């Protein structure tokens, strides 16, 4: 017993160690975490160092990572939003699955396989890897963007397909196999529908009251246990009903998406999701049977490339038919070109039913695993080799022969507010911006903004720099602001130069460049915020005004000292909390300040 326990502990340590070593290394190399997990799994698996003999056991457990990921996605997708996506789920999803299924069946026939084998192989490969795609989308922050939501919709539709596909496998069983009675099939359908209805009812009438009761207990570990119970319970219910575990977890998440406990649930599940999903990728890497690949390498290598290319082409065609842009269609095609984890279930069921033989099962499993491993590589290559999408200039005018009292460069959050007092006074303000989408959005609010890069001298002349009384540099790039200052000081001496400073160090640079005015972009808002805090703490209004005036005076003096003597020259003027000042009511502002006892750079503002 002790030996078995030690072996299990060693396995856990090996799995964690492989992930800890490989994932940071691959991310450092720019290859992403998924490829790191897959490579680590291959290295420690039965066809690498041989530290694990049965990766399928790990794979089945680690599939819960996919389940938990779908639960988290469901928490972010309210029922109304899910209803809004019905067109993408059933329209885009069915069109993509149908076209890919037909084309990939044709690939199987071209390789000389019978129709039944070709169809099962094709439909297994059609089922995209939810784990791979969701991880890559999550790393890019695309899950909640429109292009990400379309991909999620297709994945949801694919999750629904596993049940009818398994039913088709049963119908395709050879004549020698024992037929399944119609009554038993109808019973299976009834059980599935009943499980779905039971989950929905529990989500509506049971989950929220349960979490309210548990919240009153104020036991964090119980809330975590309850979150895991909901995820795993929903998955188990769907599995007992013959449906997808991931689909059950997703529905549970959707039903809890409007709950006041949504964020707590997400925080509780997240660590388990991350660990189990990483374990899933490790197990996929272990599952790559190098002996099978070596024994049938011409078929497997050509097969994986042919199936990925054909599937990607079909996805691209469907995306373009559904009015997606070229760049978005290419990205979706590369991201979803692989087979997925549900293919293992389908191939195993088909082999058990005699629809495909053991050799086809092994070869197709290797093809799917290879496609999953290749996807992160192809995504990286696309990102590095594909030309950057040209910015659409539709509805945008370039700056040409403009004249105005004021030239405002950069119309983001800062520039928009800066423009208001000037426009209220009636000044003729010329505005230039480099983001075409921001220019189009500004037009909806009544602004005329021209396209122009203020770091170019020709653009500054075209925008009216030579006739402007003031040039306002409101860009959010420190380097761009410095370049504009350099150009404007030399070419437009008649204009006052007012510049937005990124932080204190940038303000030093602008002061040394002798601009007419500069302000740190967060200084005034931070001072106003502090004044509001004093009022909320019931500091008398007159005293609060004196304190704020003192803070402004100290900051100005500190800035002057730092400009002459470096960042630490004005350190004594900062109010610090390294030495407690007590909780007594506010004292006169003339009281000496406590110097910051620090060795690092002072806070940047």
Residue 578 CB partners (closer than 8 Å, separation 6+)? 594, 596, 597, 598
Both 414 and 358 in one domain: the answer is no
More confident residue, 176 or 362: 362
pLDDT greater than 80 at residue 541: yes
Highest-pLDDT range among 8-12, 68-72, 95-99: 95-99
Q: Which of 474, 396, 467 lies closest to 428 in space, CA to CA?
A: 467
Least confident window among 211-215, 251-255, 599-603? 599-603
Range of the domain at 496: 406-521
pLDDT of residue 418: 93
Q: Determine phi and psi for 500, rounding to 5 degrees.
A: -80, 125
Both 516 and 421 in one domain: the answer is yes
Whether 228 maps to a domain, the answer reads yes
pLDDT greater than 50 at residue 331: yes
pLDDT of residue 189: 66
Least confident window among 168-172, 361-365, 474-478? 168-172
Both 373 and 421 in one domain: the answer is no
pLDDT greater than 90 at residue 401: no
Q: Specify the CATH number for the domain of residue 134.
A: 1.20.1530.20
Both 157 and 281 in one domain: the answer is yes
Cα 183–185–189 angle (5° rounding)?
115
Both 377 and 494 in one domain: the answer is no
21's tokens: 């070593």
Whether 555 maps to a domain, the answer reads no
pLDDT of residue 471: 94
Both 321 and 435 in one domain: the answer is no
More confident residue, 392 or 562: 562
More confident residue, 170 or 315: 315
Whether 535 maps to a domain, the answer reads no
Alpha carbon distance 137, 454 (integer Å): 34
Both 30 and 171 in one domain: the answer is yes
| Average pLDDT, integer, range 372-389 | 81
Both 339 and 370 in one domain: the answer is yes
| Average pLDDT, integer, range 231-237 | 79
Residue 153 CB partners (closer than 8 Å, separation 6+)? 85, 88, 89, 92, 93
Out of 352, 385, 418, a domain closes at 385
Both 216 and 266 in one domain: the answer is yes
Whether 548 maps to a domain, the answer reads no
Residue 99 is given by DSSP the state H
pLDDT greater than 50 at residue 78: yes
Whether 554 maps to a domain, the answer reads no
Both 322 and 425 in one domain: the answer is no
pLDDT greater than 80 at residue 216: no
Q: Specify the CATH number for the domain of residue 452.
A: 3.40.50.720
Number of domains in the chain: 2
Whether 578 maps to a domain, the answer reads no
Q: Cα–chain-centroid distance for residue 567?
A: 38
Whether 579 maps to a domain, the answer reads no
pLDDT greater than 80 at residue 273: no
Both 327 and 428 in one domain: the answer is no
Out of 521, 539, 565, a domain closes at 521
Least confident window among 65-79, 137-151, 198-212? 65-79
Out of 385, 419, 453, a domain closes at 385
pLDDT-derived band at 81 (thresholds 50, 70, 90) equals low
Both 269 and 308 in one domain: the answer is yes
312's tokens: 């990607």
| Average pLDDT, integer, range 29-35 | 72
Mean model confidence pLDDT for the chain: 80
Alpha carbon distance 228, 221 (integer Å): 11
Whether 508 maps to a domain, the answer reads yes
């Amino acid at each position: 017993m002790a030996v078995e326990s030690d072996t299990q502990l060693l396995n856990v340590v090996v799995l964690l160690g492989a992930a800890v070593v490989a994932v940071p290394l691959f991310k450092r190399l720019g290859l992403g975490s998924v490829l790191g997990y897959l490579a680590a799994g291959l290295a420690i698996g039965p066809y690498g160092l041989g530290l694990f003999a049965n990766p399928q056991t790990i794979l089945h457990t680690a599939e819960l990572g996919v389940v938990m990921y779908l639960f988290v996605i469901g928490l972010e997708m309210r029922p109304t939003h899910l209803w809004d996506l019905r067109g993408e789920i059933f329209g885009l999803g069915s069109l993509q699955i149908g076209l890919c299924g037909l084309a990939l069946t044709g690939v199987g026939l071209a390789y000389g396989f019978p129709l039944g084998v070709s169809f099962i192989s094709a439909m297994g490969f059609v089922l995209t890897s939810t784990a791979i795609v969701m991880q890559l989308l999550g790393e890019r922050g695309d899950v909640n963007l429109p292009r990400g939501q379309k991909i999620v919709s297709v994945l949801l539709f694919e999750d629904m397909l596993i049940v009818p596909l398994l039913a088709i496998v049963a119908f395709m069983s050879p004549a020698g196999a024992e037929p399944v009675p119609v009554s038993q099939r109808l019973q299976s359908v009834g059980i599935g529908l009943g499980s779905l209805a039971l989950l929905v009812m529990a989500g509506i009438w049971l989950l929220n009251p349960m979490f309210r009761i548990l919240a009153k207990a104020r036991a964090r570990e119980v809330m975590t246990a309850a979150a895991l119970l909901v995820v795993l319970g929903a998955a188990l219910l769907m599995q007992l009903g013959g449906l997808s575990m991931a689909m059950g977890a997703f529905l549970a998440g959707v039903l809890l998406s409007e709950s006041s406990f949504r964020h707590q649930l997400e925080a509780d599940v997240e660590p388990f999701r991350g660990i189990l999903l990483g374990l899933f990728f490790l197990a996929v890497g272990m599952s790559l049977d190098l002996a099978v690949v070596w024994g049938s390498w011409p078929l497997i290598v050509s097969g994986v490339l042919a199936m990925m290319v054909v599937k990607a082409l079909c996805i691209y065609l469907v995306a373009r038919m559904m009015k997606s842009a070229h760049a978005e269609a290419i990205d979706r095609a590369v991201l979803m070109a692989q087979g997925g984890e549900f293919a293992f279930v389908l191939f195993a069921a088909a082999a058990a039913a005699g629809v495909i033989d053991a050799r086809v099962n092994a070869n197709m499993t290797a093809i799917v695993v290879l496609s999953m491993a290749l996807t992160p590589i192809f995504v990286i290559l696309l990102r590095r080799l594909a030309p950057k999408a040209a910015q659409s200039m539709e509805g945008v005018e370039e700056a040409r022969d403009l004249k105005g009292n004021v030239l405002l460069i950069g119309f983001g959050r800062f520039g928009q507010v800066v423009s208001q007092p000037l426009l209220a006074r009636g000044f003729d303000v010329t505005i230039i911006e480099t983001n075409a989408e921001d220019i189009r959005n500004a037009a909806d609010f009544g602004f005329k903004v021209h396209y122009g890069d203020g770091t170019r001298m020709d653009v500054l002349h075209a925008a009216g720099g030579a006739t402007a009384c003031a040039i306002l540099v409101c860009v959010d790039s420190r380097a761009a602001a410095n370049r504009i200052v350099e150009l404007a000081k030399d070419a437009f001496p008649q204009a006052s130069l007012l510049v937005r400073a990124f932080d204190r160090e940038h303000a030093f640079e602008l002061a040394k460049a002798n601009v007419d005015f500069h302000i740190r972009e967060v200084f005034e808002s931070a001072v106003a915020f502090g004044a509001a805090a004093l009022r909320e703490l019931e500091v008398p209004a007159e005293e609060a005004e004196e304190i704020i005036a003192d803070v402004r005076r100290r900051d100005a003096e500190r800035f002057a000292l730092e400009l002459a003597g470096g960042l630490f020259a004005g350190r004594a003027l900062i109010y610090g909390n390294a030495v407690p000042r007590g909780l007594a009511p506010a004292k006169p502002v003339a009281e000496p300040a406590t110097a910051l006892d620090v060795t690092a750079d002072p806070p940047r503002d």
